[in-house]
Structures are given as structure tokens and as C-alpha cells.
Amino acid sequence: MAAIGQIVARTPSGEVLSRAQQRAMLVPDCLVEARRIANTVISGWHGRRKRGIGENFWQFRPYSLGESMSRIDWRRSARDDHTYVRDREWEAAHTIWLWADLSPSMMYKSTLGQVSKESRALVLMLALAEILARSGERIGCPGVMEPVSARNAAERLATAIMLSPLAEGLPETGMIRGMSDLVLIGDFLDPADAVMERLGPVARRGLRGHVVEIADPAEEVFPYAGRTEFTDPETGEKLTAGRAEILREDYQRAYRARRDSLGDGLRHLGWTFIPHRTDRPASEALVAVHMYLSGMPSRATHGGLL
């Protein structure tokens, strides 16, 4: 039987950056702006204008009893019989921390997938940096790059990854302070309990998390048949099955149970869970993550895989 999958070489970060910028362009600017406009009428973080400390004028509104008289705009109030307060726009960028797991299992690519899991994870991370930087957000990568607010955040992140490669597994988050968002991208093939043991304390510190599970289609459908040799990319251990097809139902059942357990655990923490397959366009996962970051609901956790 011909090989269905293989372990690929790591993708050079410079090439990934180019693909990430192209991928970011697939999300039309009008869609990004439409979500920003929609957020002006709902509560949430950056992505909507709101009253606060800043230099730019936002709106006039009626004066409320108990407010400081110094905030009254007497010129506007003189136009009619009401007293008005001049509000300024809140000016505060949100901090989003991005992370892609580059464990050996992420190097896998089957003939059913478009790219390796590692390549897809890096493209998504850099594409998110590209789009979020356009919105004025502060972008950071735990242990690799301190948060920056710059239009070239994706380029700076790619450079930082080349100089200080991403570690394997989940990142250290002790440096993350305050109300921030953390986007984790990986295959999360470890037992769900082990993943939740790491993420639970992070969520209890007040961080808002978004987990993107990258899966190769072969990992889900198990297309193997006949005599097949399986190799664990993490340990190198091998398993030979005389008739791989007889394992399919048990494998699929265990795979779905792990994913369901992980998704339920994350949602219990108030985090979001977005499954994504490498045979689907990366733009689908990109749109889903951006909607969650904008405080808008997504169908990603309700309709199975994207």
C-alpha cells in the first residue's frame, strides 16, 4: 500500500510570512471594517469606539446629575434647552498573544491535506498578526516577542521566530499580565485532561483564550487499510497493524472523544475551541478566530469542523 502521509521538513519562516500576508488579503477589508462597525453597538474590547480617556472627540450626550461640571460643553448646550457633555473616545489597544505549537507531530502531512499542520499553524498565526496589526492591536508571542503595536507586526513576529524559534508544546504564560487574549494553535493530541491541567490555571488568571486545533484529514478519517506501519513522531516508536481497517471504528471513536472532551473543557473555562482541517482553506479558521476576538459569535464550535 502506498504511503498516505509523511513527516515534512520545517517551513522557513520567511516563506510562511509571504503566504500569511496573501492569506490575510483573502479576508476583505470591508468585512473587517463591518465587524468593527458592528462592535460599536455592543459591549466589548477594542474594535468598537467607546467613551473614555483620549484626545479625539466622540460624541455629545445629555448631562447626568452628579457628573463633573467641568465636562459640560457650554457652547453646544447654548444651542438649545439641554445641557450636554463632550465625550472623548477611549484610546487603548488590546493585547493579543499568539502561539503556534511546533511539536514533531505538527510536521505531519498526508496526501489528503493541502499542507503540513506546522505550515498551516504558522500561516494562521502570522495572518492573524497581519490583520490585528491593521486594527491597531498590540501583538505578542510568549517568550519570543514582547507586545508591539505596529503595522509591520507580522514581519517583526516572523523575524523574532527566526531568531528565537518557537518551543514545542504549550507556552509559558507567566509574563502575560492583565486582561489579554491568548490564541493557541496546534494539534493538541495530548490527552484532554493533560491539556486542561495546563490551561486551567491560565484561564483562572483572567486571560481570554482561543484554541485552534489543526488536524490533517487522515488523522480524523483513518484511511489506512492492509498491513500498515505507524510511527509516533514524538517518540519514534512504531506499531505495525496487519489489517489497519479493523482499527478504524475504535480509532475514530477515541479521536472524537478526545476532541469532544477538550472542547467541552475549554468552553467550561469560557474559552473558544475552533477545529480546523488542513484540507480546508486557512481563511475559514482565520475568519472564525477574528470573529471571536471581535466579540462576535461564530459557528466554529457548533457545526463540527470548519
Residue with cell 521566530: 161
| pTM (whole model) above 0.75 | no
What pLDDT is attached to residue 295? 67
What pLDDT is attached to residue 297? 52
What pLDDT is attached to residue 265? 96
Q: Is 251 found in the same domain as 104?
A: yes
What pLDDT is attached to residue 304? 40
Q: Which three cell numbers stand for residue 198?
A: 495546563
What pLDDT is attached to residue 163? 74
Rounded mean pLDDT for each run of 10 residues along the chain, 306 residues in total: 59 60 44 32 35 50 70 81 68 79 88 88 85 84 90 84 77 80 94 93 89 96 92 86 93 96 94 95 84 64 40
What pLDDT is attached to residue 6? 61
What pLDDT is attached to residue 90? 44
What pLDDT is attached to residue 301? 42
What's the rounded Cα separation, in Å, for the pair 184 and 100? 6
pLDDT digits (tens, 9 = 90+) for 36-58: 322 332 233 344 344 444 445 55
Task: Decide if 2 is inside a domain.
Answer: no
pLDDT digits (tens, 9 = 90+) for 199-248: 999 888 888 899 999 999 999 999 999 999 988 888 889 989 999 999 99
Q: Is 217 found in the same domain as 203?
A: yes
What pLDDT is attached to residue 199? 93
Query: Do 129 and 98 contact (CB within 8 A), yes or no?
Result: yes
In the sheet where 208-215 sits, what is the strand order? Answer: 145-148, 138-141, 95-100, 181-186, 208-215, 272-277
Instruction: Work out the burial of residue 244: count CB atoms within 10 Å of its CB; fewer than 13 is exposed, 13-18 middle, 19 or more buried.
Output: buried
Q: Is 220 found in the same domain as 170?
A: yes
Q: Is 210 found in the same domain as 227?
A: yes
Parent domain of 155:
14-44+92-294
Query: Do 125 and 191 contact (CB within 8 A), yes or no?
Result: no
Count of domains forming the chain: 2
Q: Which three cell numbers stand for residue 282?
A: 486557512
Query: Do 89 and 57 contact (CB within 8 A), yes or no?
Result: yes
Q: Which three cell numbers stand for residue 224?
A: 489506512
